[in-house]
Amino acid sequence: MSDKDSAAGSANSKPPQSDEGNEFALFVSDELDFEMRRADRAEAQGQRLLTASSTLVTLAFAGSALVTSRSGFEPPRMSLWAMVPATLFLLAGAGLGLRGSRVTTIQRASIALLRRWDTEPPTMWKATSVGARTAITAAKITALDSLRQANNAKMKWVIWGGRAQGAGLVFLTLASLAILLHAAKS
């Protein structure tokens, strides 16, 4: 292809069209939707952690009372030493789950800002769709930023709560095994 053909070809091709921020606005909306769903998941995981840990603490005490209720039965020291950290870890897991299940407060465009957008001449809402889309996208980015930060914090609480619950289960298992082995010997 000669330079002349190349120049003619580029003259016939259309310059790329601007989408006027449509793709970016769509991307920001999708990210905001994702973070809203993520907030729901974090809250649900925190509630499950709270429920499971609380139930395990209750069952641990009920099981201990059932096994040790026989007259003359003295639980082994190992079970007592394991029940204390098991209870503490499970309670910590429940507390961290509660912290992770808190409702998220999202920073939104303030009422004062919305009023200013509507009344400042020339108002962007009446000028161009690009100006309006830009303002809406900026407001969504503000909400997205605060929501993502809150979700990241929630997920950290839930992760630590899951770890505490796991440690509590290990100690609970040790306590149960010590009690069962001791009960089998007596």
Give residue 168's pLDDT: 92
Where are the chain's structural domains?
21-103+141-185
What integer best gives the mean pLDDT of the chain?
A: 81
Whether 160 shows a pLDDT value over 90: the answer reads yes
Whether 8 shows a pLDDT value over 60: the answer reads no
Residue 127 DSSP label: H
Kindly tell me the sign of the dihedral angle through the C-alpha atoms of 177, 48, 102, 163: positive
Q: Region 133-149: what's the mean pLDDT?
A: 87
Local confidence band at 163 (pLDDT 50, 70, 90 cut-offs): very high
Reported as half-sphere exposure (CB side, CA atoms, 13 A), residue 21 has a value of 14
Least confident of 97-101, 127-131, 164-168: 127-131
Give residue 5's pLDDT: 52
- The tens digit of pLDDT for each residue in 21-44 reads 788 888 888 998 999 999 899 899
Q: Tell me the C-alpha distance between 73 and 65, whole Å.
A: 11
- The tens digit of pLDDT for each residue in 45-77 reads 999 998 998 888 888 777 767 766 667 667 778
Print burial letters for 38-57: b (CB count within 10 Å at least 16), e (below 16): bbeebbebbebbbebbbebb
Look at the block and give the residue holding tokens 């082994």.
76
Whether 129 shows a pLDDT value over 90: the answer reads no
Give residue 166's pLDDT: 94
Q: Tell me the C-alpha distance between 162 and 53, whole Å.
A: 9
